[in-house]
Chain A
Amino acid sequence: MADLISLKEIKRHYDVGGEVVRALDGVDLIINPNEYISIMGPSGSGKSTLMNMIGCLDTPTEGIYEFEGELVHKMDDNQLASIRNRKIGFVFQTFNLLPKATALRNVEVPLIYANMTKNDRIEKAKIALISVGLEERMHHKPNELSGGQRQRVAIARALVNDPSIILADEPTGNLDSKSGVEIMKILDKLHSGGNTIILVTHEEYIADHADRTIHLFDGKIKVDKKVTKKRQVST
C-alpha cells in the first residue's frame, strides 16, 4: 500500500529573540491509509507543531514532506490552502465554529472554498451532519448547541470534503466525560468506515482508542508503537 504521508528528517526551527527553538528536530514518520494514530507528549514536545506540519498549516525548515505523492514542503500558500481544503479535515479542541452561522452553514464552509454549487453543498453538508447524528439540529447556531454537539458539527465539517485524513487536536479537551465518550465513538466509527485519523492528546485513555501511539519528546519521536490492548468504548 502506498504511503499516505511520509515525513523525512523534518525539522522546524523558530527564531525566538535570537534563540533557536527546535520545535521539531528530525522527525521521520510514515502514515498509511486507514491508520488510527495518537500523538502524545508533554507540553513543548512539539505535538502541536507536528500536527500543524501534517495539517499543512506550517512548512518545515528542513526535510521532505510528501502527501499522497505531492511534495508539500515545496508548496506555496495557495497550494497549501488547496491541499488543506481537499485532503485534510481539522477538529479543534475549542471547536472553532463560526458563531453567527448555523450548523449547516458551518459545515458548508469548506465546500464553498472548494467552489461547489449551492445545492450540492447543502446536500453534502446534510449527509455529514446526519452521519454525526445532528439531523435535528442543522439550523441551530453554535450558541444553541451543547459542547458535544458543537464538536460533532466540527467533525461533520472536517468530514464533508471526504478528506484523506482527519486531524483531531485534543478533541475531547473541552468536553465533559460523557460528551467526550460520544465524540470518541464517532471517531472510532469513522475509522472503521475507512478514514485515517490522527489524534493529539495527553490522556492515555483517549490515546488507547488508536491503533498506534507516537510519543514526542523535545521535537523527536521517542516511542512509536502499535497498541495491543485496544480499549473498546462501552455502550
Chain B
Amino acid sequence: MISLFWENLRISLGSIFGNKSRSILTALGIVIGVLSVTLMGTLISGLDRTFEKSMSFLSRDVLIISRMDWFGGDMDWWELRNRPRIKEDYVEQLREKSQFVAAVAPMAERGGSIFRGDKRIDTRFFGTTPEYMATNESADVITGRYFTDGENRSGARVMIIGGDVADALFTDEDPIDKYVKIGSHKFRVVGVLKKQGKFMGMFSLDNQAVLPFGTFQRLFSRRGWMNVRVKVNTDNYDEAKEEIYGVMRQIRGLKPMEKDDFAINQSATMEAQYKAIKLAIGGTGLFITALSLIVGGIGIMNIMFVSVKERTKEIGVRKALGATQSMILGQFLMEAVLICLIAGLVGMGLAGGLSLLINQFFPSSMPVGLAIGSIILSVVIGIVSGLIPSYQAARLDPIDALRYE
C-alpha cells in the first residue's frame, strides 16, 4: 500500500499544482478559516497568561475589604454611594476580633504627580503600613529598603517608588537617598519596587509610589479611597471570609436584617468574572471563526466535485487497469486533505507571524497545542469535505467513465 500512497501523493500534488490559480483560490478559504481560528485561540491564551501573571499581585489568601464590590453586584448605585467609608481603625479592630488575620494593612490611594527637577511623572500614591509587605507577595523592594514603623508613625517624608517612576525620574542614577517632590514637599526615596509589568496589558503596576500611611494622611486629606488588605492564616478561605464578614458587620454595627454596606473582594472574584468574559469572547469568537472554516470546507468540496468531473475518463482508465473503489477514494481524499493541509500550514504560519505583530500591542503568543490542533483540524476538514466527492469518484461505473468525454 506504500507505493499506492506515494502514487496518490504524486497525483494529488500534480493536480493541485497543475491548477495553480484554482488551488490557491480554494485554499484561501481554509487559510482564512485556520488563520482566524488560530489567531482567536492565540489571543485567548495570551489573555489567559496575562491574566494569571497580572493576578499574582493578588494572592488567593488575601481579602480586600472595600466600599464596593469589584464587579457590580445587584446593588443600586445610590445605595453604593451612601455606603460609609472604610476607616483606618478597622485595621486594628480586625486584628483584635478576627482569629484568621495573619497580616492586615490599610491601603489608601490617590493620584498625583512626582517631580524631580524638570522631570515629572503622573502616578498613583499608596499610603500603607510596613505590614503591607506581608499582604502582597509580588511587592518586593529590589534596591533600598521599606520604611519602618517609626517612619510610619512620625509621618516621615520617605517613599518607595515603582519601576516606571524610577525610570522616569532617574535615568542613569541610583534613586536611593535622592530627593523628589510631591507638590512643595520634599521626599527621600528609600526603596525601589520590583517590576511587575502591566495588568492585562492595560495599565502598569509599576507606575506607583508607596508612602507611609501616617505621611499619606498628613499630606493628603483623610477623604480618599481606602481599602484594607487582610492576609488570612488558613487555607480555608471561605471560612475566613465568612468570619471576617461577621467581624466587619460588627464593626459597622449592622443589625441582623440590614444589608452589608461594605464588600470583601478577593482574587477568586476577579477570576470568576474573567472566566465569564473569556467564555463569552472565546465562545462567540470561535463560533464565528469556525463558520469561516466551514465555508472554506464547502469550497474544498465544490472544487473536489469539479476535479472528479474533469477526471472522469482518467478514473475509468484507472479502474480498467485494476484500481479498486477504495484506491480511487484514497486518491481524491488525498487531494482534498493535501489542499487543506497546505492551506492549514499557511494559515498557521500567518497566524504565528501576526501574533508576533499583535504582541507589540497586546500580549499574545501561539501555544504549541493550538498549532498542532489547527493542523489536525485542517486535515479533518479535508477528510470531511473530500469524502462525498471522493466517494462519488470511487462509485463511478468504469464503462460510463471510460465513455465520458
Contacts and interface: CB of A to CB of B under 8 A. Distances in A.
Interface of A: 52, 55, 57-58, 77-78, 81-82, 84-86, 90, 92, 96, 98, 100, 109-110, 112-118, 121, 157, 161
Contacts of B3: 112, 115-118, 121
B322 interface: yes
B14 A100 contact: yes
B320 A113 contact: no
Given A58-B399, A115-B4, A121-B3, A84 B325 contact: no
30 contacts: A57-B398, A77-B324, A77-B325, A78-B324, A78-B325, A81-B319, A81-B327, A84-B319, A84-B320, A84-B321, A84-B322, A92-B317, A96-B317, A98-B314, A98-B317, A100-B14, A109-B318, A112-B4, A113-B4, A113-B318, A113-B323, A114-B322, A115-B4, A116-B3, A117-B3, A118-B3, A118-B6, A121-B3, A157-B321, A161-B322
A92 B402 contact: yes
A81 B397 CA distance: 12
B402 A96 contact: yes
Contacts of B257: none
Interface of B: 1, 3-4, 6-7, 14, 18, 313-314, 316-327, 398-399, 402
Contacts of B317: 92, 96, 98
B399 A100 contact: no
B320 A82 contact: no
A58 B316 CA distance: 12
A85 B321 contact: yes
B322 A82 contact: yes
A115 B321 contact: no
Nearest to B318: A109
Contacts of A109: 318, 321
Given A118-B3, A161-B322, 9 more contacts: A81-B319, A81-B323, A81-B325, A84-B322, A85-B322, A96-B313, A109-B318, A112-B7, A121-B3
Contacts of B326: 78
B401 to A, nearest CB: 10
A157 B320 CA distance: 11
Given A52-B399, A78-B325, A90 B18 contact: no
A77 B325 CA distance: 8
Contacts of B319: 57, 81, 84
A78 B319 CA distance: 10
A82 B324 contact: yes
Contact of A113 (B316, B327, B398, B399): B327
**Leading 8 A-B pairs by shortest Cβ distance:** A85-B322, A113-B322, A81-B324, A96-B317, A110-B321, A112-B7, A57-B398, A78-B324
Contacts of B318: 109, 113
